[in-house]
């Protein structure tokens, strides 16, 4: 899947995804009749079009009022040159892939410092926990390792959260029945859970891949 | 060219009346016979009986091909089954009519229905296992992945104001959806147990003025 990564003014990174139909449209510049054939053709080859025919037809209708749409976009804060560029391109098509991706990037996240289109090479299983640590390094999506460590600690906190309650309940029972040995054993387990975010391997991990594998025994 | 009839009981062929033969047309010296007279007059009677009469006493028995001609000077239709005058045709609702939503006479066409305030202006079903991905959508160009569970729905035609209602539903047990109205709808999916933002599949519908 192709994505556009946006470097925001605060250094964080957002991504624009699922823009394939938009990309196709900006490149195509088709008449309504051609659009019908286009949709049918895309569906026939199983293209991941996240759109319905009725939606495309709405777009045709909407884009007939290009000036009105530009003004609506400007009114909500989008710079006029971006609003004009996107709306006219949407209406007229005929863009190269690079031009279309640039328009999508500006339309999807026009407050970005810069935007880069790329293949999504980061597995979702990693992205889901660590994307607050995304960083644009040149034209590639990389990691801010300090932010990744914080993201990992947050992940460990989520993992330990459900383990606290049964241990604390068992400890209260042990204390109530005078079983101090059991209470002490449970306290040791609880302390291990409290300490998972202080695992020294977190601070020394040099890559996100290393961080992902740092799961203290108390959480296993 | 209509062929002359000989002894037929039907004086019409393709809608053209033709006189009975033999005996027609008459020529000087022709003796008037009962067969000529009776057959000719019988045909004329049959012909008149199949004409459309201006006093409305005839009943039409088949469709009438008008061959691109019009009925003119019609009275206005008043009840079911009546014909209607051209000016009785109602102008179809425009986008503005739909957005205003007050007309109780303008008929609505499929291409304008979506502009009524009661119609959903945006809907999307998307998966999210780390990268939000559209499954199917309406009036959506792309998604912006703001953070874990936090997704902006980039609308092709944005709302005219950021105050319109957004409705979201997590397609996953144990989660709920925080909706954030804006000119582009935004949602944050969260775990029910902790309220922590989390990636789950989600469906979103929004209403308002485009």
B199 neighbourhood in chain A, CB within 8 Å: 124, 128
Nearest residue of chain A to residue B183 (CA atoms): A76
Nearest-by-Cβ selection for A55 from B133, B139, B194: B139
Q: How many CB pairs under 8 A join A and B?
A: 121
| A165, pLDDT greater than 70 | yes
Q: How confident is the model at residue B13 (pLDDT cuts 50, 70, 90)?
A: low
% chain A with pLDDT above 90: 59
* Mean pLDDT in residue range B34-42: 88
pLDDT at B17 over 60: yes
Give me the mean pLDDT over the B175-183 stretch.
Answer: 92
CB-closest option in B111, B135, B137 to A57: B111
Which residues are CB-neighbours of A199 under 8 A, at least 6 positions away?
Answer: A156, A214, A216
**157-176 in B: which are within 8 Å (CB) of A?**
157-160, 162
Tell me chain A's radius of gyration from C-alpha atoms.
Answer: 25
Confidence category of residue A153, pLDDT binned at 50, 70, 90: very high
- Our CA-based measurement puts residue B130 at a distance from the nearest CA of chain A, in whole angstroms, of 4
The answer to whether B114 contacts A58, with C-beta atoms less than 8 Å apart, is yes
pLDDT of residue B177: 96
B146–chain A Cβ distance below 8 A for any pair? yes
SS3 A95: coil
Higher pLDDT, B6 or B175: B175
User: What are the C-alpha distances in Å from A143 to residues A81, A214, B7?
Assistant: 32, 17, 102
pLDDT at A163: 92
The predicted structure's pLDDT at residue B136: 84
Mean pLDDT of A62-86: 86
Of A120, A122, A132, the CB nearest to B147: A132
Q: Where is A62: in which H helix or E strand? A: helix A53-63
Q: How confident is the model at residue A33 (pLDDT cuts 50, 70, 90)?
A: low
3 state DSSP class of B77: coil
Q: Tell whether the model's pLDDT for residue B166 goes beyond 60.
A: yes
For the four alpha carbons of A160, A161, A166 and A168, in that order, the dihedral sign comes to positive
Q: Whole-model pTM?
A: 0.73
Interchain contact B127–A (C-beta under 8 A)? no
Who contacts A194 (Cβ-Cβ below 8 Å, separation ≥6)?
none
Cα angle, residue B163 at apex, residues B161 and B168 outer, rounded to 5°: 120
With an 8 Å Cβ cutoff, is A55 touching chain B? yes
Residue A168: pLDDT over 50:
yes
Are A30 and B144 in contact by the 8 Å Cβ rule? The answer is no
Radius of gyration, CA atoms only, chain B = 36
Taking CB atoms and an 8 Å cutoff, what residues of chain A touch B147?
A: 14, 131-132
Nearest to A161 among B124, B157, B194 (CB): B194
User: Residue A52: its pLDDT value, please?
Assistant: 55
Cβ within 8 Å, pair A16-B162: no
Q: What is chain B's mean pLDDT, rounded?
A: 87
Q: How confident is the model at residue A35 (pLDDT cuts 50, 70, 90)?
A: low
The per-residue pLDDT for A158 is 87
pLDDT at A127: 92
What's the N-to-C CA distance of chain B in angstroms?
64
CB contact under 8 A, B130 and A127: yes
The mean pLDDT of B65-80, rounded to a whole number, is 92
The C-alpha of A182 sits at a distance from chain B's nearest C-alpha, in angstroms, of 29
Share of chain A above pLDDT 70, in %: 85
Q: Is the ipTM of this complex over 0.90?
A: no
Residue A23 confidence (pLDDT): 86
| Position B62 pLDDT exceeds 70 | yes
List residues bridging with B180 in a β-sheet: B186
Q: How does pLDDT run across B90-149, given as a tens digit for each residue? A: 889 988 899 899 999 899 987 788 889 999 999 999 999 999 999 888 888 899 999 999
Chain A residues closer than 8 Å to B119 by CB: none
Judged against a pLDDT cut of 60, whether residue A49 lies above it is answered with no
Contacts of A73 in chain B (CB under 8 A): 158
Residue B3 has pLDDT above 80, yes or no: no
CB atoms A59 and B199 under 8 Å: no
- Residue B31 Rama label (left phi>0; alpha psi -120 to 50; beta): beta
Cα–Cα distance, A36 to A53 (Å, whole number): 8
Give the pLDDT of residue B2. 41
Distance CA B80, CA B64 (A): 20
Please tell me which residue of chain A has the smallest CA distance to B129: A124
């Amino acid at each position: 899947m192709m994505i556009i990564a946006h470097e925001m003014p605060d250094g964080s990174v957002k991504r624009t995804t699922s823009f394939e139909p938009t990309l196709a449209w900006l490149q195509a510049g088709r008449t309504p009749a051609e659009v019908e054939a286009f949709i049918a053709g895309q569906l026939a080859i199983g293209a991941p079009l996240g759109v319905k025919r009725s939606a495309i037809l709405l777009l045709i209708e909407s884009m007939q009022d290009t000036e009105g749409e530009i003004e609506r976009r400007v009114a909500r804060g989008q710079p006029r040159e971006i609003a004009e560029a996107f709306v006219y391109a949407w209406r007229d098509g005929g863009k190269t892939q690079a031009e279309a991706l640039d328009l999508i990037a500006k339309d999807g996240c026009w407050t970005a410092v810069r935007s880069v289109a790329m293949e999504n090479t980061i597995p979702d299983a990693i992205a889901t926990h660590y994307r607050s640590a995304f960083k644009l390094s040149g034209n590639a999506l990389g990691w801010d390792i300090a932010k990744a460590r914080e993201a990992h600690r947050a992940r460990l906190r989520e993992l330990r959260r459900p383990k606290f309650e049964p241990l604390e309940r068992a400890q209260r029972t042990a204390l109530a029945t005078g079983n101090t040995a059991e209470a002490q054993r449970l306290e040791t387990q609880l302390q291990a859970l409290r300490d998972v975010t202080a695992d020294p391997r977190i601070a020394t991990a040099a890559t996100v891949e290393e961080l992902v594998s740092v799961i203290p025994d108390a959480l296993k | 060219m209509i062929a002359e009839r000989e002894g037929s009981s039907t004086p019409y062929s393709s809608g053209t009346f033709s006189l009975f033969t033999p005996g027609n047309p008459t020529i000087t010296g022709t003796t008037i016979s009962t067969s000529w007279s009776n057959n000719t007059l019988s045909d004329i009677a049959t012909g008149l009986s199949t004409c459309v009469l201006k006093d409305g006493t005839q009943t039409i028995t088949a469709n009438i091909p008008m061959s691109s001609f019009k009925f003119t000077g019609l009275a206005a239709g008043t009840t079911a089954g009546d014909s209607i005058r051209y000016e009785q045709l109602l102008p179809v609702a425009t986008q503005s009519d739909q957005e205003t939503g007050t007309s109780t006479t303008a008929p609505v066409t499929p291409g304008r229905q979506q502009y009524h305030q009661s119609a959903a202006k945006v809907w999307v079903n998307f998966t999210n296992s780390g990268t939000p991905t559209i499954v199917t959508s309406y009036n959506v160009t792309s998604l912006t992945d703001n953070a874990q569970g936090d997704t902006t729905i980039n609308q092709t035609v944005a709302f005219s104001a950021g105050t319109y209602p957004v409705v979201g539903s997590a397609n996953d047990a144990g989660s709920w959806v925080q909706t954030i109205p804006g000119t582009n709808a935004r949602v944050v999916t969260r775990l029910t147990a902790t309220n922590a933002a989390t990636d789950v599949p989600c469906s979103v519908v929004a209403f308002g003025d485009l």
